[in-house]
Amino acid sequence: MKFQCPGCQAGFVVPDEKIPTGRGVRILCPKCKFPIEVKEIEPDPQESGRAHGPAPSNTELEQVQEEMSLLDI
């Protein structure tokens, strides 16, 4: 998923599998610390009958934020 910080206009790429499905997540921009709300990813229609795993833990969300700073474009 590609997105841009509304505060500093920095662009980021985060692998889709790192973004939780079924809900959005709020993270801080690694450059300017502006809160960014990443919208939920639409579940794959072919997987609609399959149960989704548990919600990501704070550790997983922190990992996404850390990876964002590494994947800065």
Longest dimension (CA), the chain: 40
Residue 47 reports pLDDT greater than 60: no
Average pLDDT score, the chain? 73
Query: How far is the C-alpha of 18 from the C-alpha of 55, rounded, in Å?
Result: 12
What is the sign of the dihedral through the CA atoms of 57, 29, 39 and 11? negative
pLDDT, tens digit (0-9, with 9 covering 90-100), for 8-40: 999 988 787 777 777 778 888 989 999 988 776
Mean pLDDT of the 30-54 span: 69
pTM above 0.75, yes or no: no
Question: What's the confidence (pLDDT) of residue 73?
Answer: 45
